[in-house]
Amino acid sequence: MPSWLEILANLSYLASVALAARNRAATWPVGILGCGLFAVLFFQNQLYADVTLQGFFVFTSVVGWWHWHRGASPEAARIQVTPHRKLLAYAVIAICVAFAYAFVLHTLTDAFAPWIDSLVLTLSVVAQLLLMRRRIETWWFWLAVNTLAVPLFAWRGLQLTAVIYTLFWFNALYGWWHWRRVLQREDA
C-alpha cells in the first residue's frame, strides 16, 4: 500500500509532467511541490541519487519558470532542435558522471542500486536542461530516464511510483509528438 507521501508526490509530479508535455509554464511551480515531496520519499528509501536529483529539479524549476514565463526572448520561447553533436556530447558526459557518482555512492553509502540510480540522475539532468531551453530532444532523454526508473522503483517496492513513471514514459512520447507538431507549425 503506498504511503500518503508517495501518493501526493506522484499526483503533483504527474500534473507537472502533463503540463510540460502541453508546453505550459505552470509545469514549473507544480513541479517544485512534487520534487520536494519526492526528495523526502526517496531519502526514506535510500535512493540518494534521486534525492540529489530532486534538489536539482527544484533549482532548475525556478530557472525554467523564469525562462519560460518572464525572461525568455522570443527566440528562446520557441521549441528548437539541438545539434546531434551536442546531444552525443551530453549523453557521453551523463554516462561518465553517472559512473563516477555511482562509484561514490557504492563506496561511501548504503545506497540501493547506485549504478542505475545514478544513471537516472544524470540523464534526468540532461533532460531537464533541454526542457528548460525548450529543446525537443528533452523527450528522448525522458524516455530513457523512465525506461530505467520504472524497474528501479518497482524493485525498491515503490509500486505506485513505478506505475506513475510508466505513465511518464507515455507522456514523454506524447510530449515529443506534441512538441514536434508545434515545431512544424512554427517552421511553416
117-130 confidence digits (pLDDT tens):
999 999 999 999 99
Q: Would you kindly state where each structural domain of the chain is located, as residue ranges? A: 4-75+82-187
Question: What CA–CA distance (Å, rounded) separates 105 from 127?
Answer: 22
pLDDT digits (tens, 9 = 90+) for 15-38: 999 998 888 888 999 999 999 999
φ, ψ for residue 35 (rounded to 5)? -65, -40
CB 147 within 8 A of CB 173: no
- Predicted TM-score of the model (pTM): 0.84
Is the pLDDT at 102 greater than 60, yes or no? yes
Could you say which DSSP state residue 25 is in? T
Neighbour-count burial of 92, counting CB atoms closer than 10 A to its CB (0-12 exposed, 13-18 middle, 19+ buried):
exposed
pLDDT, residue 72, reads 55
Mean of pLDDT values over 177-186: 92
Instruction: Categorize the per-residue pLDDT at 64 as very low, low, confident or very high, splitting at 50, 70 and 90.
Output: confident
Question: What CA–CA distance (Å, rounded) separates 154 from 160?
Answer: 8
Question: What CA–CA distance (Å, rounded) separates 141 from 49?
Answer: 17
